[in-house]
Amino acid sequence: MRRIKAEFVTSVAWLEQLPDADLPEVALVGRSNVGKSSLINTLLGDAKLARTSNTPGRTQTLNYYRVEPEDAGPFFLVDMPGYGFAAINRAKRADWGNLIERYAKSRTTLRGIIQLIDLRHPPQPLDYSMIEWLISHNHNYLVVGTKADKVAKTKVAELMLQAAEKLNVDSLDTIAFSSQSGFGRDKLWRWILDTTRR
């Protein structure tokens, strides 16, 4: 396992609060409770770095983590607000959507976006909307199926292929991941490092 120095830097509620654009950035996006915080903690090897919660919709800002792997240059990992939680009022959801869209459109140092989907369930309507938006705006993206440990090992590859077909993406642009076992961690790291070196 590579040695990594990582720290939480700031939470951004509007674009004027963004840190200086001096490092490449990779952002995470997905439905509320898809496991973004758990993925961050497993990826960076710190179980307490990103706060996990059983309450969907807890992340309401762009959360910046500065990451320094031993074998690569530093970069920012950006946790974007989860989408699709019905209990949050419509105006708040609209604010979050506007923040995500404006950030993804305007941030010159954004190198790639990782869209997380829950491997236990078929892609949801907002998952389709997100991948269509990423493709239509020519973003470099990766689809990660989380909670791979919650399905039978023999079904993981099949479920990822089904998700790729439904989302109309190449299966090469997908990775299955488990925060519990670390399955897929090395593949995800390779994608991130290749992306930040662009």
Q: Which two tokens stand for residue 167?
A: 């989302």
What is the tally of structural domains in the chain? 1
- Looking up tokens 């642009």 gives 173
- Number of Cβ within 10 Å of residue 22's Cβ equals 8
30: CATH: 3.40.50.300
Q: Identify the domain containing residue 141 by its residue range.
A: 4-196
Q: b/e for 117-138, b at 16 or more Cβ within 10 A?
A: bbbeeebeeebeebbebbeeee
Helices (H), the chain: 36-44, 90-106, 125-136, 156-167, 185-196
Per-residue pLDDT of the chain (198 residues; tens, 9 = 90+): 578 999 999 999 888 899 987 999 999 999 888 999 999 999 999 988 987 654 444 457 899 999 999 989 999 999 998 876 444 455 555 566 678 888 999 999 999 999 999 999 999 998 999 999 999 999 999 999 999 999 999 999 999 999 999 999 999 999 999 999 999 999 999 999 999 998
List, in order, residues 6 or more apart from 195 with CB less than 8 Å away. Answer: 24, 26, 111, 112, 140
pLDDT in the model for residue 3: 85
Nearest CA-CA partner of 179 in 44, 84, 8, 13 = 44
Q: b/e for 68-88, b at 16 or more Cβ within 10 A?
A: ebeebeebbbbbbbbbbbeeb
Burial of residue 55, with CB atoms counted within 10 A of its CB: 0-12 exposed, 13-18 middle, 19 or more buried: exposed
